[in-house]
Amino acid sequence: MLRYFVTRILLAIVTVFIIITITFFAMNAIPGGPFASEKAPSAAVKAVLEERYNLDKPVGTQFILYLKNILHGDFGVSLKTGRPITTVISESFGISARLGLMAALVAIVFGLTFGSIAALTRSGISDRLIIFFTTLLVSVPSFVLATLLLLVFCLQLKWFPVWSSSNPNYVLPVISLAMSPMAYITRLTKSSMLDVLGQDYIRTAVSKGVSQFWVIAKHALRNALIPVITYVGPMVAYIITGSLVVESVFTIGGLGGKFVSSINNQDYPMIMATTIFLAVLMVLATLISDLVYKLVDPRISFD
């Protein structure tokens, strides 16, 4: 077990290193440095700037310096605004994290509920309805859902206010982020619940006279949860990538929206920093869900 944990953590570290390497060297492959714009400064200024940002050193040295800076939490300076990127990230990540966590919570709670209902009313009307809607929702990209929700509920019906930082309304962004993972969790829960309900210990619990609610809540759902844990990693990845577009659709000033606007502004240090930051988050989420999965279910072998 320890062996598995160590190799898994090592793989995660290697992955993070590779992500940083790819990002760094890819960004270096772009022709023209950050100071090669139309408003080119004079050669002397440029030389000073290049020395200031270590651009005069060989690529290998630059890379090592960049790694060192990242470890110290320093991602450099945004080309667009001139502000340190670490500050930008720490300011905007709060909103994104709140949005993402709410979406994850909604997806998990409703996914588990609907999945259990579908499994318990197998081939009944509610089961069919749930499966119909989840199939539909899995096929709707989050950006389509986000723009449609914005159109219908913000602009046409005016049920929800348009986002502003003084009056944030999380309902629509959370819905557009949570729907697809919720549908996926519903399907997962349904199939694993059906598996569990056929087990002997459920029959034992029922024959002991445990009420149906407690059989489900205590015996069935707990074991049905295990496959859902494996989905947490992919779900975090989905929510992060979804938040990029959802935040720019709703003009939320979170990290995702900043990332997309930095792509359009060609603000390379910002693109680099956000990619690394978000990628590390995703790798961490996958790592944690893998480790928890092995911890929770002792039947899984550790080789």
Q: What is the binding site for other proteins (CB under 8 A)? A: 11-12, 14-15, 18-19, 22-23, 26-27, 29-31, 135-136, 138-141, 143-144, 147-148, 150-151, 155-156, 237, 240-241, 244-245, 248-249, 260, 263-264, 266, 271, 275, 278-279, 282-283, 286
Q: Least distance (Å) from other proteins to the CB of residue 154?
A: 9
Structure tokens at 141: 């990209």
Q: Least distance (Å) from other proteins to the CB of residue 170?
A: 20
Residue 25 CB burial class (10 angstroms; 0-12, 13-18, ≥19): exposed
Q: Which H/E stretch holds residue 176?
A: helix 171-197
Q: Least distance (Å) from other proteins to the CB of residue 151?
A: 5
Q: Least distance (Å) from other proteins to the CB of residue 279?
A: 5
| CB neighbour list of residue 134: distance below 8 Å, 6 or more residues apart | 114, 182, 183, 184, 186, 187
In the bound state with other proteins, the residue whose beta carbon lies nearer, of 113 and 147, is 147
In the bound state with other proteins, the residue whose beta carbon lies nearer, of 108 and 279, is 279
Q: Are 73 and 86 in contact (CB under 8 A)?
A: yes
In the bound state with other proteins, the residue whose beta carbon lies nearer, of 42 and 156, is 156
Q: Least distance (Å) from other proteins to the CB of residue 201?
A: 27
User: Can you say how many angstroms the Cα of residue 117 is from the centroid of all Cα atoms in its chain?
Assistant: 27
In the bound state with other proteins, the residue whose beta carbon lies nearer, of 163 and 205, is 163
In the bound state with other proteins, the residue whose beta carbon lies nearer, of 219 and 254, is 254
Q: Are 1 and 302 in contact (CB under 8 A)?
A: yes
Tell me the one-letter amino acid at 93: F
Q: Least distance (Å) from other proteins to the CB of residue 140?
A: 5
State the Rg of the chain over Cα: 24
In the bound state with other proteins, the residue whose beta carbon lies nearer, of 113 and 261, is 261
In the bound state with other proteins, the residue whose beta carbon lies nearer, of 77 and 282, is 282
In the bound state with other proteins, the residue whose beta carbon lies nearer, of 232 and 283, is 283
| CB neighbour list of residue 238: distance below 8 Å, 6 or more residues apart | 142, 180, 181
Q: Least distance (Å) from other proteins to the CB of residue 221?
A: 26
Q: Least distance (Å) from other proteins to the CB of residue 38?
A: 16
Q: Are 238 and 276 in contact (CB under 8 A)?
A: no
Q: What single-letter DSSP state applies at residue 217?
A: I
Q: Are 46 and 35 in contact (CB under 8 A)?
A: yes
Q: Are 174 and 98 in contact (CB under 8 A)?
A: no
* Cα distance between residue 303 and residue 300, in whole Å: 9
Establish how many alpha carbons lie within 13 A of residue 234's alpha carbon, considering only the half-sphere containing its beta carbon. Answer: 10
